[in-house]
């Protein structure tokens, strides 16, 4: 087990006996402190002398270890593995050497430091120290406690001997890499045999709008596996609580859904909130075809022809499509006018309001209240109609200008002919 003193790694044994033999220990620690180099520099270690020349899992080079955040903070091999790295008898049991750490021991080993708030504060005061407590609530933690060593422990996600902070893009737990890290086990159907995991989650997530936002748009706040499942306390959200997970980002939609008739209906049918319509891992960019009675519509999963919900869904779909068409028409005519050199910046700015109304209507949709949706759609249509009229006016103005140009050019032509004739006449004289 690791222990620590003033940032200098030592063994827990010292701390335990330290209470009883404090003066002696203080002298010893002072001697150790004087003997050791600066805390930030990795301590001299004999371990790497041998391990850098080994093969396979036992091979650890100095360069590799120097990349590890622990090495950078001054921790040594002995901090986890025990022993005395400064001595040629480093691996003597008498020196506290533990050697290979059993998988089931790893969470507790890491937590020796990471669950100690006062110790961690000196390195990173904002780092949480409840990882072990959370881990114990996770599916991984529970199964490990039950003796299943196939489940993920700290090193499976964070790595070992080359652990980087999560903010480092090369870290396995950086938001951009989390899904790939989870998929190493969860997309391996052979490995996941015997667990209630399909193995297609990573593939489904990779085609989702969330994955696109994260990897294509580079939005690091976009959800990855740990955003919805938790990281150290990873577990699938339950049917009753999935809506709470989604609402951490989609707050308005969740509030509206709570007031909708679907809230109670879903609960009584045992259907989870958001995922019933949007699915879970393969959440695609929603569009208006999801609503209504068409082949892509999710409403028909529950509603059938003739019932009130079916009619309302069709009505809502028509309204959204109507506003979308009106905006499209306005865009087309304004673009035509703009390409003709007409100044339609004001109308284009106003049309952006109509698009905002459409977005708002799509959010209001989660209330499943046709009257509320109609309010937004109506406001949007009014704006779109006004901008369309501005486009028409601009095109009329363009035609008027061209007519004016035609008349002017004819007048100029007449003047040119007149001048030519006049020059001819005065020069003939």
Distance separating alpha carbons of residues 384 and 351, to the nearest angstrom:
6
What's the DSSP call for residue 358?
H
Residue placing its CB nearer to other proteins in the complex, 252 or 400: 400
- Smallest gap, in angstroms, from Cβ of residue 181 to other proteins? 35
Q: Least distance in Å: CB of 402 to other proteins?
A: 6
Q: Of the candidates 121, 160, 127, 166, which has an alpha carbon nearest to the alpha carbon of residue 7? A: 121
Long-range contacts of 179-187 (CB under 8 A, 24+ apart): 179/205, 179/206, 179/211, 179/224, 179/225, 181/157, 182/157, 182/225, 182/226, 184/156, 185/152, 185/156
Length, in residues, of the chain: 429
Minimum CB distance to other proteins, residue 387 (Å): 14
Q: Is 74 left (phi over 0), alpha (psi -120 to 50) or beta?
A: left
Question: Nearest approach, Cβ of 418 to other proteins (angstroms)?
Answer: 10
269 vs 413, beta carbon nearer other proteins: 413
Q: How far is the CB of 428 from other proteins (least distance, A)?
A: 12
Secondary structure element (H or E) that encloses residue 146, with its range? none
d(CA 138, CA 232): 7
| Nearer CB in complex with other proteins: 252/422 | 422
Gap between the Cα atoms of 108 and 153, Å rounded: 10
In the complex with other proteins, the residue whose CB is nearer, 251 or 416, is 416
Q: How far is the CB of 216 from other proteins (least distance, A)?
A: 21
The residues binding other proteins (CB under 8 A) are 341-343, 345-346, 401-402, 404-405, 408-409, 412-413, 415-416, 419-420, 422-423, 426-427
Beta carbon nearer to other proteins, 261 or 345:
345
User: 160, 134, 159: which is closest to 229 by C-alpha?
Assistant: 134
| Residue 4 DSSP SS3 | strand
**Closest to other proteins by CB, 16 or 413:** 413
Q: Tell the smallest beta-carbon distance from residue 336 to other proteins (Å).
A: 14
């Amino acid at each position: 087990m690791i222990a620590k003193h003033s940032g200098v790694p030592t063994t827990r044994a010292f701390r335990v006996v330290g209470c009883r033999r404090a003066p002696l220990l203080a002298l010893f620690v002072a001697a150790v402190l004087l003997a050791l180099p600066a805390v930030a520099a990795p301590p001299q270690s004999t371990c790497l002398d041998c391990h850098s020349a080994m093969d396979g899992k036992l091979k650890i080079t100095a360069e590799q270890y120097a990349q590890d955040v622990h090495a950078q903070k001054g921790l040594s091999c002995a901090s986890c593995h025990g022993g005395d790295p400064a001595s040629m008898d480093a691996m003597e049991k008498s020196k506290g050497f533990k050697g290979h750490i059993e998988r089931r021991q790893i969470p507790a080993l890491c937590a020796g430091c990471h669950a100690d708030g006062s110790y961690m504060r000196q390195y990173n005061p904002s780092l949480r120290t409840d990882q072990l407590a959370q881990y114990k609530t996770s599916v991984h933690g529970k199964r490990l406690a039950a003796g299943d060593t196939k489940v993920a422990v700290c090193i499976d996600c964070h790595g070992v001997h080359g652990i980087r902070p999560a903010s480092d893009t090369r870290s396995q737990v950086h938001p951009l890499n989390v899904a790939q890290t989870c998929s190493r086990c969860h997309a391996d159907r052979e490995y996941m045999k015997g667990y209630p995991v399909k193995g297609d989650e990573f593939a489904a997530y990779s085609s989702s709008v969330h994955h696109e936002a994260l990897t294509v748009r580079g939005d690091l706040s976009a959800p990855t596996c740990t955003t919805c499942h938790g990281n150290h306390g990873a577990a699938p959200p339950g049917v009753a609580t999935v809506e709470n997970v989604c609402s951490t980002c989609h707050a308005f939609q969740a509030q509206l859904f709570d007031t909708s008739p679907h809230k109670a209906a879903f609960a009584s049918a045992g259907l989870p909130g958001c995922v019933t319509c949007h699915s879970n891992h393969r959440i695609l960019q929603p569009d208006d075809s999801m609503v209504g009675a068409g082949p892509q519509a999710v409403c028909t999963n529950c509603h059938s022809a003739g019932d009130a919900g079916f009619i309302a869904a069709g009505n809502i779909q028509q309204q959204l499509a109507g506003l979308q068409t009106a905006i499209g028409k306005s865009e087309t005519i304004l673009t035509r006018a703009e390409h003709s050199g007409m100044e339609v910046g004001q109308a284009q700015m106003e049309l952006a309001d109509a698009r905002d109304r459409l977005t708002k209507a799509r959010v209001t949709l989660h209330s499943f209240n046709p009257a509320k949706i109609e309010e937004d759609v109506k406001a949007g249509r009014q704006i779109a109609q006004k901008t369309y009229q501005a486009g028409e006016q601009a095109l009329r103005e363009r035609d008027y200008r061209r007519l004016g140009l035609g008349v002017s050019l004819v007048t100029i032509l007449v003047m040119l002919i007149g001048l030519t004739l006049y020059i001819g006449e005065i020069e003939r004289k």
